[in-house]
Structure 1
Amino acid sequence: MQSLLTPINNFLHCTTPDSWIDAARKPENLAVLLTDHLVCELKAAQSAMYLIRRYVVDEQSSTALLQWLKPYEDYTYRQQGDWTKLADIKLKKSMLPKADSNYGQELVDKMVLLIKEELHHFYQVLEMMQHYGITYDKITSSRYARGMLRHVSTYEPNALIDKLICGAYIEARSCERFAKIAPFLDKPLADFYISLLRSEARHFEDYLQLATKIAGTDISERIHFFGVVEADLILSIDDEFRFHSGSPV
């Protein structure tokens, strides 16, 4: 596991504060931890889907992507549908990039695979909630992703590059927190979080590789900038506990 965590910890500008771990390990916070984690898995899939739809595929492919995610969104945001049927939903169309995109195929390949994994993990989190007798109910989202995305450039291709860098930090932080909290959880949930770490450890590198390729130049300063922003969100005081929240009040 350490071989997976070393590049993640080297990439992040800070570690999760002990105060967050203390809050996350409390039994009374388990429902919030899993519920917010569930929504985070969907948002990760949505973010990857947005990149494909916005930048590299045609309208027909875009529609197929929306249909793929709709049952998950219906369940999460409108509390409609049977979650046990979500595992049977598949993408029914091959995603083909626009011919004029020199990075389109790589973005499609990496993001479609990421979406599949995130949606599978979404279903697995629901299974964990079922195991612990937690009924899904909507909660407010944390300030974390918004806090980074507000710094995204307003013009292309810088906007796309910034979004990919933000995606890298979000994925890396998720994996760091899986490892941080796992030792304090009971075995089924601890084993699950370690399995997620193994599955998602490469995601941040996929985002960074795409950002570097699209930029075609050194983006280390921009990566550093968002690293500082991300660390400030993690270390500063946060008035509500969430999977990606900062230091609890």
Structure 2
Amino acid sequence: MQQLLAPIYSFLQCETPDSWIEEAKKPEQLKGLLIDHCNCELKAAQTAMFLVRKYAIDKQSGQLLLDWAKPYENFVYIKNRDIGVFLSKGSKKNELSGELVARKDFAHSDDLIQKMVRLIKEEFHHFEQVLEIMHSRGIEYQNVRAGRYAKGMMKQVRTHEPATLIDKLIVGAFIEARSCERFAKLAPYLDDELKKFYISLLRSEARHYQDYLKLAQAISVTDIGDRVAHFAAVEAQLICSTDQDFKFHSGAPVLNVTA
């Protein structure tokens, strides 16, 4: 595991603050973290799907992706959702129903499709895995608004192409790397089921961050080192500074100090 995590620690400019770990390992925080984690897995799949639809495929292929996402989005966006019914539909819902046609006017279409489709499938699977754990523990799914972390990163994305795409891929790399780092940090303090589950996620999360980074560099005509350094500094500031809202990717928790 240490060999797997070494590149993550080199990539990130800081480790998760001890104060976040101390708060996260409190039993009363588990429900909120699982709900937020579940939301994060779905958002990761949706973000990757957006990138493929916008940059890499034709309109008809875009509909194939929307159809793939439909069972998941129907579940999360309806009021009278039933976790048991959703999970009983099995793994067939996590399948792409046709072949995606790559756009010819974007040189990296095939690479973007290959890496992101694999990521989407894994993120949907992780969403279901977290949901199943929640269901077994009597925790209802809830929609969660985006926290300061994701918003703070996206504010730094440039607004002209291909810089927009490159920056979004770099942001994706940091989000995946931070997820991997936090799974590893938190796992030792969890019960056996969750510990085993979070450790099982490390390899895919580590690969996701590398895929995002490789795509960003392949698309850029110049070295992305400066942009990676920029986002590393922004990400570290968001992680190390205090955050009013406690989430899976939040910063240091605000501690209640009584006189």
Q: After TM superposition, is the score higher than 0.5?
A: yes
- Unaligned regions of 5+ residues in structure 2, if any? 255-259
Secondary structure at the aligned position of 2:226 is classed as helix
Distance of 2:178 and 2:49 partners within structure 1: 20
Q: Specify the alignment match of 1:179 in structure 2.
A: 184
Distance of 1:195 and 1:231 partners within structure 2: 25
Distance of 2:163 and 2:90 partners within structure 1: 35
| 2:110 aligned partner, one-letter code | Q
| 1:68 aligned partner, one-letter code | W
**TM-score scaled by length of structure 1:** 0.97
Q: Specify the alignment match of 2:257 in structure 1.
A: none
How big is the shift at 1:65?
Answer: 0.5
Correspondences of 1:1-249 after superposition (within 5 Å) = 1-79=1-79, 80=81, 82-84=85-87, 85=89, 87-89=91-93, 90-249=95-254
Q: Is the 8 A contact 1:36 1:243 kept in 2?
A: yes
**TM-score scaled by length of structure 2:** 0.93
How big is the shift at 1:142?
Answer: 1.3
Q: Is the 8 A contact 2:39 2:144 kept in 1?
A: no
Distance of 2:29 and 2:77 partners within structure 1: 21
Secondary structure at the aligned position of 1:111 is classed as helix
Deviation string, structure 1 residues 96-150 (Cα, Å, up to 9, x no partner): 2112221110000000000000000000001111222212123333111111011
| 1:126 aligned partner, one-letter code | L
- Unaligned regions of 5+ residues in structure 1, if any? none
Deviation string, structure 1 residues 53-107 (Cα, Å, up to 9, x no partner): 0101000111111111122122223244632126321210111211222111000
| 2:38 aligned partner, one-letter code | L
* Matched positions, count: 249
| 1:61 aligned partner, one-letter code | S
| 1:136 aligned partner, one-letter code | Y
How big is the shift at 1:216?
Answer: 2.2
Percent identity between the aligned chains? 56
Distance of 1:56 and 1:237 partners within structure 2: 38
How big is the shift at 1:184?
Answer: 0.2
Q: Is the 8 A contact 1:237 1:247 kept in 2?
A: yes
Distance of 2:90 and 2:151 partners within structure 1: 28
Measured on the aligned residues, the alpha-carbon RMSD in Å equals 1.2
